[in-house]
Structure 1
Amino acid sequence: MTKKRTLDQDKVLTAATNIVRNEGLKTLTLPKLAHELDIRTQSLYNYIANLDELISLIGARLVYKLRQKIKDGIVGLSGTEALIKFADIARDFLIDEGTLGIVIFYLHEYPKESTFNHEAQMLVELLNQVIDSSHIDQGNDEPFSHALIGSVLGFVFIETSGFYKDETFASSTKSYHQMINRIITPSGELA
């Protein structure tokens, strides 16, 4: 009797995500993933085109999950409170995801039409909606959203890289909030 396979793209992505989460992005290879799924490497091509597409799909799934968390977390908030909560959720999410969160830093390597970039654009659109509804006079939303996104990603990168060895999570959080407040209220009035 032949063993019936119940494999689909979702299961492939879940297995690949687990490899990245547990061992890091650099350890993800198609042979390793195939071994994990107990299939031949060639069989993976029924679900993905190549390793780049696989990483793009993992990234898209990650950004989608982040966007949903932010949407749920800012319900009922407005103004600077919503912007601060947006930034806090993003930071906490990336820290909680650990090695999987690193995938976001590879977004620039994927074409604009990739699923990964599409999900990232939807996240930026959500941020721009929050900026617009905050009535903060920053002029054009683009430089403001760039500054906020870049600051959150840069801070998380530095924080998770261990640049500041003696920094506690509490002191890092305090520094993070000071940075976010300076971006949101550059006049110096803390939100």
Structure 2
Amino acid sequence: MARVGLTTEGLVRAGAETADEIGFERTTPAELARRFGVRTASLYSHVKNAHDLKTGIALYALEELADRVSEAVAGRAGKDALIAFADVYREYALEHPGRFAASRFPLDAQTAASSAGVRHAQMSRAILRGYDLAEPHQTHAVRLLGSVFSGYVGLESAGAFSHSAPDPQESWTEILNALDALLRTWPTRS
């Protein structure tokens, strides 16, 4: 029987907050049970297991991030849209490191297809329409952007840029300018 006050949504939200505090990998049903002051078994009427909890947190993070990106890029095109898109990813990763890690959690094909991950891909492609990229180049560019954004914020979050000049913001700005230039002049021959 479900414990009064515990809901799947509440557990996922608490899991997202816990992931930001202690890391996504360390966020487990046992850890949430400890935080709620209940036995772990009390959570299993809301989540099946640790994988189910992590999937819920991933879906929550993808949705939250997609909403932020959508709001930031609305009405923008080209370089302005690219910068708004990238800045939201970076800000979200720095503000919510556990949730950002969760957004990269591997989902099964059916779950991924019905997740906000689809919105992320659609927004990436919408930005790239401003650069007039056709397939398969558009897919390559989407993968490049994801790699750059995830890689940069991963390194920045780990403190990799804190020991030398220039400031990480200066590098970020230069990287986005370089991406814009690359996208405008993308090589279209294989």
TM range (shorter): 0.7 to 0.9
Match of 2:109 among 112, 122, 126: 112
Q: Does 1:83 align with 2:82?
A: yes
Report how far residue 7 of structure 1 moved.
1.7
Gaps of 5+ in 1: none
- Residue 53 (structure 2) aligns with: 54
Query: Could you tell me whether the CA contact under 8 Å between 2:112 and 2:118 is conserved in 1?
Result: no
Report how far residue 138 of structure 1 moved.
2.8
- How many Å separate the matches in 2 of 1:54 and 1:36? 15
Change (3 A) 1:60 1:187: closer
Matches within 5 A, 1:20-169: 20-105=19-104, 107=105, 109-114=106-111, 118-132=115-129, 134=130, 136-140=131-135, 141-167=138-164
- Residue 188 (structure 2) aligns with: none
SS of the equivalent of 1:113 reads: helix
Q: Does 1:6 align with 2:5?
A: yes
Report how far residue 183 of structure 1 moved.
2.0
Query: Could you tell me whether the CA contact under 8 Å between 2:83 and 2:176 is conserved in 1?
Result: yes
Higher helix share: 1
Q: Deviations over 1:69-104 (max 9, x none)?
A: 111112221122111211111111111113332223
- TM-score, normalising length: structure 2: 0.84
Report how far residue 173 of structure 1 moved.
1.5
- How many Å separate the matches in 1 of 2:78 and 2:39? 53
Gaps of 5+ in 2: 186-190
Report how far residue 43 of structure 1 moved.
2.3
- How many Å separate the matches in 2 of 1:124 and 1:49? 29
Query: Could you tell me whether the CA contact under 8 Å between 2:82 and 2:127 is conserved in 1?
Result: yes
- How many Å separate the matches in 1 of 2:183 and 2:81? 18
Query: Could you tell me whether the CA contact under 8 Å between 1:110 and 1:117 is conserved in 2?
Result: no
Q: Deviations over 1:3-62 (max 9, x none)?
A: x71221111112222221112223222222122223322221211121111111111111
SS of the equivalent of 2:109 reads: coil
- Residue 170 (structure 2) aligns with: 174
Which is worse superposed, 148-157 or 27-36? 27-36
- How many Å separate the matches in 2 of 1:86 and 1:29? 31
RMSD over aligned CA atoms reads 2.4
Query: Which amino acid counterpart does residue 180 of structure 1 have in structure 2?
Result: L
- TM-score, normalising length: structure 1: 0.83
